Structure 1
Amino acid sequence: MARVRRMLDACAELLDEGGYAALSTTRIAERAGVAIGSVYQFFPDKKAITQALGLRYLDIFSARVSARLSGEAFDHWTDGVDAIIDEYIDMHRTVPGFRSLHFGDVVDVQLLDGGADNNRVIADRLRDIVAGVPGAPDGGQLDRAAAVAVEAADAVLKLAFRHDADGDADLIAEAKLLVRSYLGRHFAAE
């Protein structure tokens, strides 16, 4: 629905301008050009709006990763790690609000799903995508490996963007090396 999309877009813009602390439903309504009642018709508060935005980002990220992995040939399934990280980096640089919200960890570590940490939700989504890549392992080992890889990449990529709006290229390269090396060694026999 166009009205909800405008509210989410306004939320993203406002997050970039002032962060979560400065965000309010009133400001979102004003920026989106809707009545405050319209905001409350769909979202009870600013956290609910940022949750919807985080879920939208997760869907966009998943679609971009899926398209990239299905559109390129890799020598080994772990080579797709660079493509996954590149999509995250590109969203961080170009998608309004993503830099401020990521996948919601700025607001609540369980914003995407009240029963799981945000990184677990992302790891599960990436696991499902990677499991469809030829040669990828399946099962419990991939579950654990995806969780560890997402946590490790998240930490290093946060560091890469902490003082550099475009992301420190050397730290981004280190994140890729770290995750590829871990996954490559973890599943070397496969």
Structure 2
Amino acid sequence: MSNSETYTLHPGATALIRNEPVQARSTARLATLLDSAAAAIDEIGYEKLTTAMVAERAGASIGTVYRYFPDRIAVLQSLASRNLERLMVRISEELARGDHASAQDALLAVVDTLVDLFRSEPGFRSLRVGDVLDLLPPATEEPASTVIAGAVGDAFVERFGAADSAEFRLAVGSAVEVADALVARAFARSSPGEDALLAEARRAVTAVVVDRL
């Protein structure tokens, strides 16, 4: 994705931004600020990120940063929300494909999509979909893992005829949590991800839902 690409933030993030962009130029500026924050986070971690660093990397004034974000926490939460949105787009595209032989194959493709974002999306390893931060989202927002699990579960019911039930939804939700935890661990000390842990993520996710698919 380019710095000038437009996107729609997850509803929980728009409340964090002082001036929600309505023009292409403003939207591009916001994307540049978040891209700059993501690049800095990849180098130093989100704990050390400051609004001054974001401004410097973006080639903008500190006033421009504060025009959109009241503080560094808002920057981090907005970036986490963007990460969730980009992950959801990729998962939706993957699940919409018709070449998965089974629901299990589709689920493993979702895991592969998560792995690819860890490898390719700046800032994703640190913030992922936001739940790794000790930053409280708006109380009205569902946890990111719940949003993802809901989309995956819906696809399995519609495309593969999975029997929808509380037990099925719990299994899918657990699979999403397991995938996130093991994939994150695989990338904790390795930029490409540790193969053994990635293989374990695929095995464990399959085991969690095998009786429900």
TMscore range, shorter length? 0.7 to 0.9
Match of 1:22 among 9, 27, 48: 48
Q: CA separation in 2, counterparts of 1:99 and 1:170?
A: 18
TM-score between the two structures when normalised by the length of structure 1: 0.86
Q: Any residues of structure 2 matched to 1:1-190 within 5 Å, and which?
A: 1-108=27-134, 110-111=136-137, 115-187=141-213
- Quote the offset at 1:143 in angstroms: 2.7
Percent identity over the alignment is 36
Gaps of 5+ in 2: 1-26
CA contact (8 A) 2:84 2:144 kept: no
CA contact (8 A) 2:118 2:187 kept: no
Q: CA separation in 2, counterparts of 1:123 and 1:112?
A: 19
CA contact (8 A) 1:113 1:121 kept: no
- Quote the offset at 1:78 in angstroms: 2.3
CA shift digits 1:29-62 (9 cap, x unpaired): 1211222222222211111111111111111111
CA contact (8 A) 1:23 1:46 kept: yes
Question: Bigger CA drift: 86-95 or 65-74?
Answer: 65-74
CA contact (8 A) 2:80 2:127 kept: yes
Give the paired residue count: 187
Q: CA separation in 1, counterparts of 2:40 and 2:147?
A: 25
CA RMSD of aligned residues (A): 2.3
Q: CA separation in 1, counterparts of 2:134 and 2:151?
A: 19
CA contact (8 A) 2:38 2:79 kept: yes
Secondary structure of the equivalent of 1:89?
helix
> Residue 135 and residue 113 in structure 1: after superposition, are their counterparts in 2 closer, same or farther (change >3 A)?
farther
Secondary structure of the equivalent of 2:210?
helix
TM-score between the two structures when normalised by the length of structure 2: 0.77
